[in-house]
Amino acid sequence: MPLEVDPELKPLLDAYFASRPAPEAPGDALAIRRSIETALAAAPTELPAGVRSTERTALGFDGAEIGLWWLTADGAPPGSAVVWLHGGGMIFGDARPCLPNAAGLVAATGVPVLVVDYRCAPEHPHPAPVEDAWTGLAWLHEHAAELGVDPGRIAIMGESAGGGLAAGAALLARERGARLARQILIYPMLDDRTTEPDPELVALATWSYERNVTGWHALLGELAGGPDVPATAAPARATDLRGLPPAYVEVGDLDIFRDEDVEYARRLSLAGVPVELHVRPGCPHAFESAVPDSDVARRARQDRARVLRAL
């Protein structure tokens, strides 16, 4: 039986595919960035009522200043917290347009969120993006007492490229002896070897195989697809997943990341890591952003909020 789009998503996705501009030239990461920036320019920028934002900075592994936003809900008690990483195929580099998305998690759960403005390829290839994610995580641990956060209740969460970076930062945290309560991976970008198009997914892919190859090559250069890619850059390359924090993994069945995400969840489980896996039928990449009022988007947000509240 062929794959089908969720009926609530289909009208908007049909319109998207009908009006989709010509694809960028292979390898043109900056053209993809311009396209994403244009799309995000019309997105709302206001934070939900009752959510406050405080700007902070931290020094990265190479001495660069990394932007942070600490988002909190008015009147919420201290306790748990989440480090949050936006999407963008490893090549879109501004967290500001994504703040309302992260703030929606705060409004829904009361759990504070630290948004990390990690640097992106091609200007900042690996290890800069994942090290910046680690910088945010380390900063939150260092400032936990003043922020009212329990260091044992800190999670890391990301979407798409941010999900891959969250998984990579979880590997770094294990190596460096930092405790993480959970890793929350939303359609994460995990494997630089996802290059062979699945004919069933090509026509339904909102993040294309061509863009995916461009993103990985911008991040990894000549290493992409070869035998020497580090697991902190592409977590699907990790050979030992033992001792990682419990995972929540979510992906649509029309997403080109579906197979790599399901396989990563399977391997985590085999390594003794508790895993909650959701494969959303009829959903492409970033489905809940495309049609936020659909039933499947509401279910996804409810599941994510449930996991955050349980920290």
Least confident of 76-80, 128-132, 147-151, 296-300: 76-80
Which residue reads 């999670």 in tokens? 155
What's the total number of domains in the chain? Answer: 1
Q: pLDDT tens, 219-268? A: 999 999 999 999 999 999 999 999 999 999 999 999 999 999 999 999 99
pLDDT for 24 beyond 90: no
Across 87-224, the runs of DSSP E, i.e. the strands, are 113-117, 149-159, 182-186
Which residue reads 């403005």 in tokens? 117
Is residue 164 one of the residues assigned to a domain? yes
Mean pLDDT value across residues 181-202: 96
Is 0.75 topped by the overall pTM? yes
Is residue 2 one of the residues assigned to a domain? no
**Confidence at residue 19, expressed as pLDDT on a 0 to 100 scale:** 81
Distances (CA, A) of 255 to 104, 149, 212, 283: 23, 35, 12, 7
CATH number of the domain bearing residue 40: 3.40.50.1820
The residue range of the domain holding 134 is: 10-309
Q: State the chain's mean pLDDT as an integer.
A: 94
Decide the pairing of beta strands 113-117 and 65-73: antiparallel
Is residue 4 one of the residues assigned to a domain? no
Least confident of 173-182, 184-193, 197-206, 220-229: 197-206
Is residue 122 one of the residues assigned to a domain? yes
- By CB atoms closer than 10 A (0-12, 13-18, 19+), residue 270 is exposed
How would residue 188 be classed by pLDDT, with cut points 50, 70 and 90?
A: very high
Is residue 103 one of the residues assigned to a domain? yes
Is residue 233 one of the residues assigned to a domain? yes
Q: Give the active site residues.
A: 160, 255, 285
- The residue among 245, 310, 252, 303 whose CA lies nearest residue 281 is 252
Is residue 28 one of the residues assigned to a domain? yes
Cα–Cα distance measured from residue 148 to residue 131, given in angstroms and rounded to the nearest whole number: 25
How would residue 1 be classed by pLDDT, with cut points 50, 70 and 90?
A: low
Q: pLDDT tens, 281-295? A: 999 999 998 899 999
**Confidence at residue 44, expressed as pLDDT on a 0 to 100 scale:** 77
Percent of the chain residues past pLDDT 90, beyond the cut: 84
pLDDT for 147 beyond 80: yes
More confident residue, 43 or 188: 188
User: Which residues are paired to 154 by β-bridges?
Assistant: 81
**Confidence at residue 40, expressed as pLDDT on a 0 to 100 scale:** 77
Answer yes or no: are the C-beta atoms of 232 and 239 closer than 8 Å.
no
